[in-house]
Chains A and B, each alone.
Chain A
Amino acid sequence: MKERFDVIVVGAGPAGLAAAYTTAKAGLKTIIFERGEFPGSKNMFGGVLFAHSLSEMFPDFWEEAPLERALVEERYWLLSEDSATTFSFKTKSFGQPPYNGFSVLRAKFDRWFAGKAVEAGALLVNETLVEKLIQKDGKTIGVQTGREDGDVYGDVVIVAEGVNSLLTKELGIHEEWRGNEVGVGVKELISLPKETIQERFNLEGNEGIAMRILGTTRGMTGGAFLYTNKASVSIGVACMVEDVSNECVCPNDLIDDLKNHPMVKPLIAGGSTKEYSAHMIPEAGFRSIPELVHDGLMIVGDAAMLTILITGEGANLAVTSGRLAGEAAVKAKENGDFSANGLSSYKEAMDESYVIKDLKQFKDFAGYFHSNRDILNLYPSLLNGIVKQVIATDGLPRSEKIERAKAMLKEKKSYWQLMKEAWHGWRSIR
């Protein structure tokens, strides 16, 4: 195709849309390619969008964006076969501006976000797969799409194609992700009447809850989640690809385990499954982040492995990285320099932002879980056993109970081991 663009964005997920919005708004001629029928049509995620990243671009976005519920509670569940130990934090203040986070359905949300980018002047081209980056003398100068006469040239390409980033792999920017670098997530959307959700989760009006659940993954590295939407809940499990293939379990079975757990079952009883989806998640964190800036090329969002496993963050990092890449492209345009050097302000801004700082902070965390299998295998049930022992009022004197609890613990783990694991755990996040 003859027409040239300043910026070519590949992928209309949160990362690509943030980038395209930013460059188009600054007057750069921007084209964005999405392989799905429309942005969001092929996308899924667990369901929490933390508000801060988007509000930097759209200060009062909650007044117009299609959001489900404002999350006022984070609840952690450690499950054994029939028990749950809960940690929870709830505050009404998260239910008011500036809000902490929202549950979101991607099909609606991505579409809205895309509308913003188009309003700002970006040209959105759906149902078009970018097959290859076009290179000349080691510099990216355009993309090749699957359509007839489908080569497009531009000053900079922003790759935002999500975790399965074939384009950058083909350039040798990173290798094929290994099974211990990516996870697989499966999710079901279960519809329930609004009132039922409000009652079951003790919520008012548009408030919602995010639940993170450990102990239902048959010991594999991973966890489960349950988020409330307006009239449905998103429930799912994510596990390391390597574990899933080693253990030969089908992700479907994991989600069935979860839905049938006696603690979870009543929460979704009477609901009907409306959607089922599966998607990969980058899990390796900081250590796998590829070089973000190349000649004529920037990488943003999941394509750059920007997710934080422990807090379930990804979309917000995608938005922030997209915006920063967009700003770098604007600067590069001003200077007429789209080389790696001319685009380097993206990398600098990332290093300064919470994105890279947080990723660094948690850099050993996934590895920690992975090499200490007991954490997910043993501890949830052990903890529940001990708590039960202590709480049960059965005529035993409390002193005796505590002794027994200690014995239960010791039977499985020496104090020394426990201390060691705790120390490593602490190290992995500081």
Chain B
Amino acid sequence: MHLVVCVKQVPDATEVKVDPVKGTLVRQGVPSIANPYDMHALEMALQLKDEHGAKITVLSMGPPQATDVIKRSISIGADDGRLLCDVAFAGSDTLATSYILSQAIKEIEKTDPVDIVFAGKMAIDGDTAQVGPGIATRLGYSLVTYCLGIDGIDTGRSVIKARRQLEGGCEVVEADLPVLITVVKEANEVRYASLPDLIKSIRSDVTVWNKEFFELDIPQCGLKGSPTQVKKIFPPPPKDVTPEIMNTGETGLDEIANTVAEAVSKAGIL
């Protein structure tokens, strides 16, 4: 079996700030991490590998430092990695990103056909959850989103049985291979690398593919290939910070309760 896992490097969401004057993102010094959902996707792939034997290729598109997330993936058991890195890819929105990733997967398939592509449910820097369905659509794969676990693979019939997390319950589905699976955090606990594996990954060389390495229609990449454009970025409007304080020592309980209930209803929350 050949499994591909899409792993994105994202800034640690809690530390991104906006320059209030320029309205740009202050990303200097903000640590980058592997998108947490993607690590759960990798773990799901690793469990398949443990059980059935498989080769795992990790795929990431991003700046040169994104080799870190590939190394991290290799440290816990991925076999190989590709970083897609080119100035032509910069500024890609989800449509362009899914295009570039799916073209790379097609290239990988030429030598080593793919059975399952894994992605995270979403990337925490954009929270869009669009790239996974996008790749599946472009490759014509089946799609299983919000996957909680894989219950079985029938290689004879070429189908997979999986559980999906949905509002209010869990759906069990069967999907034909090849399939793209997006994974939620609840699916598993991500494993921890042994020291020799970790050190081996720190020293490993990551294969970097620029736009020359696979077939691409450049106008579909990067800023040019992105139909959505960011008009502006701004900090959330500051709170009106004059709290209205009421004291049960001074005002009756009912009056306070009614004031609050009215305020909530006026704000259109109910």
Contacts and interface: CB of A to CB of B under 8 A. Distances in A.
A and B directly contacting (CB within 8 A) = yes
B202 A149 contact: no
Interface in B184-238: 192-196, 198-199, 202-203
Interface stretch (A70-78, A103-111, A290-298): A103-111
Interface in B152-199: 192-196, 198-199
B243 interface: no
A230 to B, nearest CB: 10
B65 to A, nearest CB: 11
A3 interface: yes
A1 interface: yes
A234 B196 CA distance: 40
A107 B29 contact: yes
Contact of A41 (B17, B31, B198): B31
- Which interface class (under 10, 10 to 19, 20 to 34, 35 or more) fits A? 20 to 34
A107 B20 CA distance: 22
B70 to A, nearest CB: 15
Contact of A152 (B33, B193, B195): B195
Nearest to A147: B195
A37 B195 contact: no
Contacts of A128: 195, 198
B21 interface: yes
Q: Name the interface size band of chain B.
A: 10 to 19
Interface string B47-60: 00000000000000
Contacts of B198: 125, 128, 147
A165 interface: no
Contact of B29 (A66, A125, A145, A150): A66
A111 B17 contact: no
B202 A37 contact: no
Contacts of B202: 123-125
**Which residue, B28, B31, B193, has most C-beta atoms of chain A within 10 A?**
B31
Given A125-B202, A191-B17, A148 B195 contact: yes
A59 interface: no
Contacts of A193: 20-21
A37 B33 contact: yes
A246 B28 CA distance: 42
B34 to A, nearest CB: 11
Given A37-B31, A107-B29, A107-B31, A148 B199 contact: no
Interface string A138-156: 0000000101111010000
Interface in A292-333: none
B33 A149 contact: no
A147 B192 contact: yes
Interface in A1-16: 1-3
Contacts of A123: 199, 202-203
Contacts of A1: 195-196, 199
Contacts of B199: 1, 3, 123, 125
Contacts of B21: 193
B193 A147 contact: yes
A99 interface: no
A22 to B, nearest CB: 21
B195 A149 contact: yes
A36 to B, nearest CB: 10
B195 A145 contact: yes
A177 interface: no
B181 to A, nearest CB: 27
A270 B261 CA distance: 30
A3 B28 CA distance: 36
A104 to B, nearest CB: 11
A430 B113 CA distance: 77
B50 to A, nearest CB: 15
Contacts of A152: 195
B139 to A, nearest CB: 34
Interface in B9-23: 17, 20-21
A38 interface: yes
Interface string B26-68: 0011010100000000000000000000000000000000000
Contacts of A191: 17
A105 B195 contact: no
List 3 A-B pairs, minimum CB-CB distance, nearest first: A148-B194, A108-B29, A150-B195
29 contacts: A1-B199, A3-B196, A37-B31, A41-B31, A66-B28, A66-B29, A105-B29, A107-B29, A107-B31, A108-B28, A123-B199, A123-B202, A123-B203, A125-B195, A125-B198, A125-B199, A125-B202, A128-B195, A128-B198, A145-B195, A147-B193, A147-B194, A147-B195, A147-B198, A148-B192, A149-B195, A150-B194, A191-B17, A193-B20
